[in-house]
């Protein structure tokens, strides 16, 4: 917490509240630092009045007052956004705790809490911070109405609370901007999630983006290791042979192998190692031990799915999830780390090219046998049925899809929910960016997406390697998919594989 001073035209100090969100950035209300009637020399400064008593401060000569200028206000908001971000010109006197900026607005009646420096907290010549809490009363984006049992208004000494952070749990969801003039015990705040549409805000907090990306990467790697280790526990993959292919010590544990696959080698090399192992075991198991062979390939396929997911570029994932959450999409209810284990399914659209696709005999399909997904402009339902049939077949591993959009949507939702309940695992559905954009263009997708939200999440894993700034993949997807397809072709020809 930090006090923010700005002097008015009468040369009186105006005091507001700021909150350190990391990397020297201070979040506050815009009108705390930029307002009508401000002195031509506003003498802007940050004051940490109580920080002298914090044991975290190690520096003997730490400065607890810091001057700054308008140039240090890196996000100045506007008439619609009463929020500002200050970049401290020098190091802050202590390291603030990690702050999670909310990506979705809280629900009404949710409990909130805040602290700030109102006049009511004045003791002698300084102000101490006071806490306040209550419930979310309503959301009228970009504003969030706050209710509190405290009689809050300027006359009661609550001037100075402007700029205070509003927390729901451990997420910073808003910044207090003013008291509700018509009602006591009401405050107005500005929503943090509403700012994600503002390029200037993105630029201002860009310093935080890399930290968020690193956090996403860490979470993803932890999840992949956990998932692969969980798959290994079935014992269907022979570890002495796997260790030999990976050139690891024979005594390494399942957990160590999983960490090696995620942290120490590329997805391409790891998938290539499983292809080599499958090639060595095919002659021994495919004819003499068909069930053992099928079980082995099933687990290898699942591990390869996770390795493919590893290749999704964290920068792209960050941008994608920010955009989806801001639009109240799937990741609003389904986050990267809120499920113990997840089922991964590679969509047939992702494996649609002839060199990847298999026919009923489990052979690579020739190009003349390849059914391109065509759209008939005269028949909207036919186009929708084609799109949805892809998902239906992938989730149900075959079968004839209903030839009705409403029935298809219900069947897909029912299957996803049933899979989640039966396996105890929601689904990551790997698709191309092209296919995802086609889905998003359909009128029924927004509602269907919300229905599927807790059971299925679309992940873009495109094989296009165009080297753009937002390339979804960090490795050559063309090559990765060919390696996975080579493993899929090893399945028993009698078993239909719907790739």
**Whether residue 441 sits in one domain with residue 295:** yes
- Which three-class secondary structure state does DSSP give residue 28? strand
Of 30, 61, 87, at which residue does a domain stop? 87
* 54-84 pLDDT per residue, tens: 444 444 445 588 999 999 999 998 888 899 9
pLDDT at 182 over 80: no
pLDDT at 34 over 90: yes
Phi, psi of 103 (to 5 degrees): -110, -5
- For residue 9, the model assigns a pLDDT of 93
Query: Which segment, 125-139, 155-169, 242-256, is predicted with the most confidence on average?
Result: 242-256
> Of the candidates 453, 412, 461, which has an alpha carbon nearest to the alpha carbon of residue 435?
461
How many C-beta atoms lie closer than 10 Å to residue 377's C-beta? 7
Residue 422 lies in a domain: yes
Residue 132 lies in a domain: no
Structural domain range at position 20: 2-87
Residue 166 lies in a domain: no
Residue 276 lies in a domain: yes
pTM equals: 0.49
- For residue 6, the model assigns a pLDDT of 93
pLDDT at 282 over 60: yes
DSSP letter, residue 361: T
Asked whether the beta carbons of 423 and 343 are under 8 A apart, the reply is yes
Rounded to whole angstroms, how far apart are CA atoms 73 and 34? 10
pLDDT at 135 over 60: yes
Rounded to whole angstroms, how far apart are CA atoms 438 and 389? 13
pLDDT at 499 over 50: no
- For residue 26, the model assigns a pLDDT of 92
- For residue 398, the model assigns a pLDDT of 66
- For residue 447, the model assigns a pLDDT of 84
Asked whether the beta carbons of 8 and 14 are under 8 A apart, the reply is yes
DSSP letter, residue 154: G
Tallying the residues shown for the chain, one arrives at: 499
Rounded to whole angstroms, how far apart are CA atoms 146 and 186? 6
Strands 65-67 and 45-47: antiparallel
- For residue 116, the model assigns a pLDDT of 86
Strands 343-346 and 427-431: parallel
Of 71, 87, 103, at which residue does a domain stop? 87
- CA distances to 10, 217, 219, 443 from 226, rounded to whole Å, are 62, 14, 11, 37
Among the ranges given (124-138, 224-238, 242-256), the one the predictor scored with the smallest mean pLDDT: 124-138
Helix (H) or strand (E) holding 7: strand 2-7
Here the CATH number for the domain that contains residue 82 is: 2.40.10
> Of the candidates 481, 106, 478, 462, which has an alpha carbon nearest to the alpha carbon of residue 317?
462
pLDDT at 156 over 70: no
Residue 373 lies in a domain: yes
Mean pLDDT calculated for residue range 403-429: 83
- For residue 168, the model assigns a pLDDT of 92
pLDDT at 185 over 90: no
Higher pLDDT residue, 8 or 391? 8
Q: What is the separation of C-alpha 107 from the centre of its chain, rounded to a whole number of angstroms?
A: 19
**Number of domains within the chain:** 2
Residue 499 lies in a domain: no
Per-position b or e across 178-191, b if 16+ CB within 10 A of its CB: bbbeeeebbbbbbb
Rounded to whole angstroms, how far apart are CA atoms 492 and 298? 11
Tokens of 399: 């079968």
How many C-beta atoms lie closer than 10 Å to residue 34's C-beta? 17
Rounded to whole angstroms, how far apart are CA atoms 113 and 115? 7
**Whether residue 210 sits in one domain with residue 75:** no
Q: What is the separation of C-alpha 343 from the centre of its chain, rounded to a whole number of angstroms?
A: 18
Asked whether the beta carbons of 151 and 184 are under 8 A apart, the reply is yes
Asked whether the beta carbons of 175 and 164 are under 8 A apart, the reply is yes
- For residue 154, the model assigns a pLDDT of 58
Of 87, 115, 133, at which residue does a domain stop? 87
| pLDDT confidence tier of residue 358, bands split at 50, 70 and 90 | very low
Roughly how many angstroms between the first and final C-alpha of the chain, as a whole number?
Answer: 55
pLDDT at 153 over 70: no
Q: Quick one: what percent of the chain has pLDDT higher than 90?
A: 20
pLDDT at 363 over 60: no
Higher pLDDT residue, 105 or 329? 105
Q: Which residue has the tokens 């992702």?
A: 350
Asked whether the beta carbons of 220 and 320 are under 8 A apart, the reply is no
- CA distances to 87, 308, 324, 334, 398 from 448, rounded to whole Å, are 42, 26, 14, 14, 21
pLDDT at 255 over 60: yes
Kindly give, in sequence order, each residue whose CB lies less than 8 Å from that of residue 351, ignoring residues fewer than 6 positions away: 357, 481, 484, 485, 499
- For residue 497, the model assigns a pLDDT of 39
- For residue 322, the model assigns a pLDDT of 55
- Cis ω for the linkage preceding 142 (within 30 of 0): yes
For the chain, give the mean pLDDT: 75
* 418-468 pLDDT per residue, tens: 877 777 777 877 777 777 778 888 888 888 887 887 788 777 665 443 444
Asked whether the beta carbons of 145 and 136 are under 8 A apart, the reply is yes
Q: What is the separation of C-alpha 260 from the centre of its chain, rounded to a whole number of angstroms?
A: 25
Tokens of 137: 């009363």
Residue 457, strand partner residues: 428
- For residue 352, the model assigns a pLDDT of 47
Residue 197 lies in a domain: no
pLDDT at 173 over 90: yes
Higher pLDDT residue, 405 or 124? 405
Phi, psi of 381 (to 5 degrees): -60, -40
Q: What is the separation of C-alpha 388 from the centre of its chain, rounded to a whole number of angstroms?
A: 25
Tokens of 150: 């405290």
Mean pLDDT calculated for residue range 16-39: 90
pLDDT at 405 over 50: yes
Residue 344 lies in a domain: yes
Among the ranges given (37-46, 211-220, 379-388, 477-486), the one the predictor scored with the smallest mean pLDDT: 477-486
- For residue 463, the model assigns a pLDDT of 41
Asked whether the beta carbons of 236 and 300 are under 8 A apart, the reply is no
Among the ranges given (161-165, 245-249, 382-386), the one the predictor scored with the smallest mean pLDDT: 382-386
pLDDT at 494 over 70: no
> Of the candidates 184, 119, 182, which has an alpha carbon nearest to the alpha carbon of residue 147?
184
Query: Which segment, 19-23, 125-129, 182-186, 197-201, is predicted with the most confidence on average?
Result: 19-23
Higher pLDDT residue, 36 or 312? 36
């Amino acid at each position: 917490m930090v006090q923010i001073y700005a002097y008015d035209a009468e040369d009186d100090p105006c005091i507001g509240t700021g909150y350190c969100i990391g990397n020297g950035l201070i979040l506050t209300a815009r009108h705390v630092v930029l307002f009508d009637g401000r002195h031509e020399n506003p003498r802007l400064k940050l004051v940490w009045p109580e920080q002298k008593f914090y044991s975290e401060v190690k520096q003997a000569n730490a400065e607890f007052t810091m001057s700054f200028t308008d140039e240090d206000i890196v996000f100045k908001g506007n008439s619609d956004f009463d929020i500002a971000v200050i970049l401290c010109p020098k190091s802050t006197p202590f390291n603030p705790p990690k702050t999670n900026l909310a990506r979705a607005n809280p629900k009404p009646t949710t409990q909130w809490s805040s602290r700030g420096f109102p006049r009511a907290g004045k003791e002698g010549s300084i102000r101490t911070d006071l806490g306040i809490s209550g419930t979310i009363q309503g959301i009228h984006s970009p504003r969030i109405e706050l209710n509190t049992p405290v009689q809050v208004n300027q006359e009661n000494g609550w001037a100075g609370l402007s700029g205070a952070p509003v927390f729901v749990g451990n997420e910073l969801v808003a910044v207090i901007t003013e008291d509700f003039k018509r009602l006591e015990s009401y405050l107005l705040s500005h929503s943090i999630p509403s700012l994600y549409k503002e390029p200037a805000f993105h630029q201002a907090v860009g310093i935080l983006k890399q930290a968020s990306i690193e956090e996403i990467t860490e979470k993803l790697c932890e999840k992949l290791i956990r998932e692969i280790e969980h798959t290994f526990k079935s014992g269907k993959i022979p570890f002495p042979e796997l260790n030999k292919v990976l050139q690891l010590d024979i005594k390494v544990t399942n957990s160590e192998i999983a960490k090696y696959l995620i942290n120490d080698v590329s997805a391409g090399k790891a998938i290539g190692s499983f292809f080599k192992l499958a090639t060595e075991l095919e002659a021994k198991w495919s004819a003499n031990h068909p069930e053992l062979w099928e079980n082995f390939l099933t687990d290898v396929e699942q591990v390869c799915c996770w390795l493919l997911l590893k290749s999704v570029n964290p920068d792209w994932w960050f941008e994608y999830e920010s955009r989806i959450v801001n639009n109240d999409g799937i990741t609003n209810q389904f986050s990267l780390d809120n499920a113990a284990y997840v089922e991964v399914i590679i969509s047939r659209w992702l494996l649609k090219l002839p060199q990847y696709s298999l026919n009923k005999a489990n052979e690579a399909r020739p190009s003349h046998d390849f059914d391109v997904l065509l759209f008939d402009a005269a028949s909207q339902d036919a186009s929708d049925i084609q799109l949805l049939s892809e998902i239906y077949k992938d989730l149900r591993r075959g079968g004839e899809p209903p030839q009705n959009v409403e029935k298809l949507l219900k069947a897909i939702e029912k299957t996803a929910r049933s899979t989640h309940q039966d396996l105890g695992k929601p689904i990551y559905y790997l698709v191309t960016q092209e296919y995802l954009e086609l889905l998003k263009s359909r009128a029924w997708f927004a509602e269907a997406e919300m229905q599927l939200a807790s059971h299925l999440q679309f992940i873009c894993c495109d094989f296009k390697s165009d080297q753009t700034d937002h390339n979804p993949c960090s490795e050559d997807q063309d090559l990765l998919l060919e390696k996975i397809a080579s493993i899929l072709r090893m399945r028993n020809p009698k078993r239909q594989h719907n790739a």
